[in-house]
A = this chain, B = another copy of it.
Amino acid sequence: MNVCTYICIVKLETAIQSNKFKNEVHKAGLNILYTAWWLKTITAKELKEYGLTHEQYNVLRILKGKYPDQMCVRDVASRMIEKNSNVPRIIDRLELKKLVKRSNSSIDKRETVITLTQSGISILESCNKKVNELMDGIISINNQEAASLNALLERVRETEK
């Protein structure tokens, strides 16, 4: 029998020890920031087993999306979740670990093209498995709730000018 021993609900009020929010919109801002930190932290823990940071994992996933095609640095950067990431430097570290390979583009000599190595692919697959298991095990919202959440987050970023 699978017995649920306890349910851990960390309310925002508890997490940041404050309940003085201007309004629900202001609270939502803090809630988004805190939830992102929480998500990053629990995934980083899994990735650490493989010596990868969240950002390095992101770059590997992006490269996998085009594999076996190569990608230039600019293309990788444009797909990053955090747009100001210093992609050349993240690639430096992946290259040191021999998870990716740099080469010069023949089309445009300014470009550096990046390729996943076999080792990069296999570490990515292990990480994906771990991270997916974590998500399935920890995040208990269903697809319908997630869809509402996605719609609301997109509404947050919808700006009129």
Contact = CB atoms under 8 A, between A and B. Distances in A.
Interface of A: 4-12, 16-18, 20, 22-41, 65, 78-84, 132, 135, 138-150, 152-161
Contacts of A31: 149-150, 153-154
A134 to B, nearest CB: 10
Given A17-B79, A29-B39, A135-B29, A159 B146 contact: no
Query: Could you say how many copies of this chain the assembly holds?
Result: 2
Given A141-B25, A141-B152, A145-B152, A81 B158 contact: no
A153 B156 CA distance: 13
A25 B81 contact: no
Given A23-B146, A79-B16, A140 B155 contact: yes
B149 A12 contact: no
A7 B39 contact: no
